[in-house]
Amino acid sequence: MKKFINTPADYVLEMLAGIYYAHPRQLTYVNDDLHCLVTAQAVKPGKVGLVTGGGSGHLPLFLGYVGDGLLDGCAVGDVFQSPSAEQILNVTKAVDQGAGVLYLFGNYSGDILNFDMAAELADFEDIQTAKVIGADDVGSAPLERQSKRRGVAGIFFMYKIAGAAAARGLPLHEVGRLANLAGAATKTLGVALSPCIIPEVGSPAFSVAEDEMEIGMGIHGEPGILTQSRDSADRIIDRILPMLLDELTFQPGDRAAVLLNGLGATPQDELYILYRRVHQLLAERRIPVFHVYCGEYATAMEMTGFSLSVCKLDDELAGYLAQPAHTPFFTQLPLAP
Amino acid sequence: MKKFINTPADYVLEMLAGIYYAHPRQLTYVNDDLHCLVTAQAVKPGKVGLVTGGGSGHLPLFLGYVGDGLLDGCAVGDVFQSPSAEQILNVTKAVDQGAGVLYLFGNYSGDILNFDMAAELADFEDIQTAKVIGADDVGSAPLERQSKRRGVAGIFFMYKIAGAAAARGLPLHEVGRLANLAGAATKTLGVALSPCIIPEVGSPAFSVAEDEMEIGMGIHGEPGILTQSRDSADRIIDRILPMLLDELTFQPGDRAAVLLNGLGATPQDELYILYRRVHQLLAERRIPVFHVYCGEYATAMEMTGFSLSVCKLDDELAGYLAQPAHTPFFTQLPLAP
């Protein structure tokens, strides 16, 4: 296991301790539980609170999006495990400012169960909640069963757009509407060349043959839609980008935001080689590009691979995406229109 | 070779094409040569130009630091190869605004040769140049022969401080003085668990045994000071941090900036586990931490490993480090004093 760790059982707590030590002005925790992460800045009175949560092993997802113009808190689970309902509730109570709290999380059964239970507990405390579930991974189920799709890197666009809407002071139903629009406008597909190792397990749960690749593999190593022999960067993009665009009907005036996300061990060099081809294909289809995000946004520890997300933006969504944001893991200046 | 590429011979040009496609408002190139990268923003008249250069395979180093508050241009070499003197000259001419150009680059013989030749050619064109060479890697030679040391991730601090000084309008000799101070105040040591593969070679040039690690390995896989059996995150930091601090005499009032840099395949989770121990040891020595940078700043493609850099800051250097900066690869808001 080629990892820099101490004992596997301490992996998440020591990671969190390092994060709090490194960013004391930006992040803190509540209830004496390092897993209950919230912004160290006061949440503005009357602002809708935004809370996410999910398993560890995906940095900067999920907790890396807590900060100005983004989210207010994150319930942190163990590696690839949901946080508990109680942890979600504690984060909820810490960030609620009377305007309600929106839960944004990925479509995994453990997370759904615990967020739903937290919502019930919050209701007892007179905190209004709503939820929007990220399900952007087109590799995990066909369009006819899209409610079964997993949430992966594309949840970034939901965070970013909801975060800007909440920062602008919009009410809960409006922030929820925009998060839903962002979710519906975002499609993702991942390609993996190697697995990752859960520290407490110590060996890969699956393997990818030296000359093969997995199209549609999930960020926990869930099987994809296809195992095939390895292919060139351009041919991979030629194959997967149309699968995303086929589900997004671009109208005149719409623009694309592109997220080329490294899954862990893939260098930025390769992400840009892949983006080169994305750009060419979008130009051929006359789809204007609003902004390109290229780097690590949602990882699977040391997995070799990438995911490609496309978010279809009308002027309303583009306006929110363009707003500035700042966390210890992600900083964006205002984007030009 | 688990890489997303087309033909290895096109690796660098296709990467650069992707970068220019993705960031057209921020980066461009001169002389019809993608390797001659310059800021797409006009360099302010009378501002000292800052130019770097070096081999590819280290993103975001070197070209990722071209932008507001940082550098003005970068001559991009092939993988692990120096750019040519002519490419450096072309970048120099493009960014010179009459106040001279400062060359900032790492201590590698090919780069030194070509930057020196470019300086002579620039002199013929009446462009004044000066150079400051990064040599922060304490693993590459002992203190008595520190002029032989390689430049690695710590060059970030030299870029950042010189960039802020040039943006403030300081003259060439002052920007050079501050870059020299930043270089002298920065020490780095890397630890690797796996090699990387040069695309045109196709196989690793060296190996690290499953149960071993290399302390002091360079970002091209140069041998380190020690091969030893793998150790826990805390014990690695306990061993290497004192080697950096022993060369930096902290005085009352000095503060440390820390850079925990992933070499390619090491997840951010582990960087924060490592930082946790760094923080504890600095607290024990009563060294205040000014700012922590944790992520990928200078990589070796898909190498598994990290480097730890410490920069000792007096109030002058801290003031420059705190200034905002913005490139496609790195954005910093002003830091609190």
Contact B5 A304 (CB under 8 A): no
Q: Which residues contact B118 (CB under 8 A, 6 or more apart)?
A: B75, B85, B86, B88, B89, B92, B103, B129
Contact A272 B18 (CB under 8 A): yes
Instruction: Specify the pLDDT at position A169.
Output: 98
Token reading at A80: 């690839």
Could you say which of A6, A21, A296 has the minimum Cβ distance to residue B279?
Answer: A21
The Cα A99–Cα A117 span in angstroms is 20
Contact B269 A191 (CB under 8 A): no
Q: Are residues A67 and A195 in the same domain?
A: no
Final residue before a domain boundary, out of B148, B166, B184: B184
Interface contact A15, partner B, CB < 8 A: yes
Strands A73-79 and B186-192: unpaired
Could you say which of B267, B271, B306 has the minimum Cβ distance to residue A302?
Answer: B267
Query: To the nearest whole angstrom, how far is the Cα of B98 from the nearest Cα of chain A?
Result: 30
In chain A, the residue whose alpha carbon lies closest to the alpha carbon of B262 is A265
Interface contact A284, partner B, CB < 8 A: no
Q: Are residues B96 and B205 in the same domain?
A: no
Please say whether the beta carbons of A12 and A57 come within 8 A: no
Question: pLDDT tens-digit profile of B49-93?
Answer: 999 999 999 999 999 999 999 999 999 999 999 999 999 999 999
N residues, chain A: 337
Final residue before a domain boundary, out of B136, B153, B184: B184
Q: How confident is the model at residue B261 (pLDDT cuts 50, 70, 90)?
A: very high
Could you say which of B25, B265, B333 has the minimum Cβ distance to residue A336?
Answer: B25
Mean pLDDT of chain B: 97
For residues B123-142, one letter each, b for 16 or more C-beta atoms within 10 angstroms of the residue's C-beta and e for the rest, the string is eeeebebbbbbbbbbbbbbe
Contact B269 A57 (CB under 8 A): yes
The Cα B11–Cα B7 span in angstroms is 7
ipTM field: 0.98
Which is catalytic among the residues A35, A220, A279, A326? A220
The partner residues of A213 in beta bridges, in order of sequence, read A228
Per-residue pLDDT of chain A (337 residues; tens, 9 = 90+): 889 999 999 999 999 999 999 999 999 999 999 999 999 999 999 999 999 999 999 999 999 999 999 999 999 999 999 999 999 999 999 999 999 999 999 999 999 999 999 999 999 999 999 999 999 999 999 999 999 999 999 999 999 999 999 999 999 999 999 999 999 999 999 999 999 999 999 988 788 898 999 999 888 988 888 899 999 999 999 999 999 999 999 999 999 999 999 999 999 999 999 999 999 999 999 999 999 999 999 999 999 999 999 999 999 999 999 999 999 999 999 999 8
Q: Is residue B2 part of a domain?
A: no
Interface contact B191, partner A, CB < 8 A: yes
In chain A, the residue whose alpha carbon lies closest to the alpha carbon of B79 is A269
Q: How confident is the model at residue B225 (pLDDT cuts 50, 70, 90)?
A: confident
The partner residues of B27 in beta bridges, in order of sequence, read B39
Contact B302 A304 (CB under 8 A): yes
Q: Are residues A325 and A238 in the same domain?
A: yes
Could you say which of B5, B7, B276 has the minimum Cβ distance to residue A21?
Answer: B276
The 8-class DSSP code of residue B264 comes to B
Could you say which of A25, A272, A326 has the minimum Cβ distance to residue B22?
Answer: A272
Interface contact B276, partner A, CB < 8 A: yes
Q: Are residues A173 and A196 in the same domain?
A: no
Chain B, residues 128-157, CB within 8 A of chain A, namely none
Q: Which residues of chain B neighbour A271 with C-beta distances below 8 Å?
A: 18
Could you say which of B22, B276, B302 has the minimum Cβ distance to residue A275?
Answer: B22
Final residue before a domain boundary, out of A136, A163, A184: A184
* Residue B186, SS3 per DSSP: strand
Total number of domains in chain B: 2
Q: Is B220 a catalytic residue?
A: yes
In chain A, the residue whose alpha carbon lies closest to the alpha carbon of B306 is A4
Q: How many other CB atoms are found less than 10 A from the CB of residue B180? A: 15
Q: Which CATH number goes with the domain that contains B255? A: 3.30.1180.20
**Residue carrying structure tokens 């969190």:** A16
Chain A, residues 69-128, CB within 8 A of chain B, namely none
Residue B266, pLDDT > 80, answer: yes
Instruction: Specify the pLDDT at position B1.
Output: 81
Q: Are residues B205 and B299 in the same domain?
A: yes
Could you say which of A5, A23, A269 has the minimum Cβ distance to residue B59?
Answer: A269
Instruction: Specify the pLDDT at position B206.
Output: 81
Classify burial at B324, counting beta carbons within 10 Å of its beta carbon; exposed 0-12, middle 13-18, buried 19 or more.
middle
* Residue B209, SS3 per DSSP: coil
What DSSP string runs through A103-122? EEEES-HHHHHHHHHHHHHH
Question: pLDDT tens-digit profile of B93-128?
Answer: 999 999 999 999 999 999 999 999 999 999 999 999
Q: Are residues A178 and A193 in the same domain?
A: no
Contact A265 B302 (CB under 8 A): yes
Q: Are residues A165 and A307 in the same domain?
A: no
Q: Are residues A48 and A162 in the same domain?
A: yes
CB pairs < 8 Å spanning A and B: 165
Q: Are residues B195 and B305 in the same domain?
A: yes
Closest CA relative to residue A215, chosen from A229, A225, A205:
A225
Q: What is the CA radius of gyration of chain A?
A: 19
Interface contact A25, partner B, CB < 8 A: yes
* Residue B130, SS3 per DSSP: strand
Q: Which residues of chain A neighbour B240 with C-beta distances below 8 Å?
A: none
The Cα B296–Cα B301 span in angstroms is 11
Token reading at A93: 């109570």
Q: Which residues of chain A neighbour B18 with C-beta distances below 8 Å?
A: 271-276, 279, 294
Q: Is residue A283 part of a domain?
A: yes
Instruction: Specify the pLDDT at position B337.
Output: 85
Q: Which residues of chain B neighbour A295 with C-beta distances below 8 Å?
A: 329
Q: Are residues A279 and A294 in the same domain?
A: yes
Interface contact B282, partner A, CB < 8 A: no
Is the pTM higher than 0.95? yes
Instruction: Specify the pLDDT at position B88.
Output: 98
Structural domain for B25, as ranges: 9-184
Instruction: Specify the pLDDT at position A241.
Output: 98
Contact A269 B6 (CB under 8 A): no
Which is catalytic among the residues B58, B279, B291, B326? B58
Q: Is residue B278 part of a domain?
A: yes
Instruction: Specify the pLDDT at position A221.
Output: 85
Q: Is residue B318 part of a domain?
A: yes
The Cα A147–Cα A255 span in angstroms is 25
Which is catalytic among the residues A23, A35, A58, A326? A58
Q: Is residue A139 part of a domain?
A: yes
The Cα A155–Cα B141 span in angstroms is 46
Which ranges of chain A would DSSP assign to H, the alpha helix? Answer: 11-22, 85-95, 109-124, 155-167, 172-184, 233-245, 268-284, 315-321
Q: Is residue B298 part of a domain?
A: yes
Strands B73-79 and A305-313: unpaired
Q: Is B35 a catalytic residue?
A: no
Q: How confident is the model at residue B188 (pLDDT cuts 50, 70, 90)?
A: very high
The helix (run of H) or strand (run of E) holding residue A74 is: strand A73-79
Average pLDDT over residues B132-149: 96
* Residue A88, SS3 per DSSP: helix
Contact B269 A333 (CB under 8 A): no
Interface contact B334, partner A, CB < 8 A: no
Average pLDDT over residues B259-263: 98
In chain B, the residue whose alpha carbon lies closest to the alpha carbon of A8 is B232
Q: Which CATH number goes with the domain that contains A160? A: 3.40.50.10440
Interface contact A194, partner B, CB < 8 A: yes
Q: Are residues B67 and B198 in the same domain?
A: no
Q: Is residue A6 part of a domain?
A: no
Q: Is residue A26 part of a domain?
A: yes
Classify burial at B37, counting beta carbons within 10 Å of its beta carbon; exposed 0-12, middle 13-18, buried 19 or more.
buried
When scoring B59, B61, B269 by the number of chain A Cβ atoms within 10 A, the one with the most, hence best to mutate, is: B269
What DSSP string runs through A193-243? SS----TTT-S-SS---TTEEEET--TT----SEEEE---HHHHHHHHHHH
Q: Are residues B165 and B220 in the same domain?
A: no
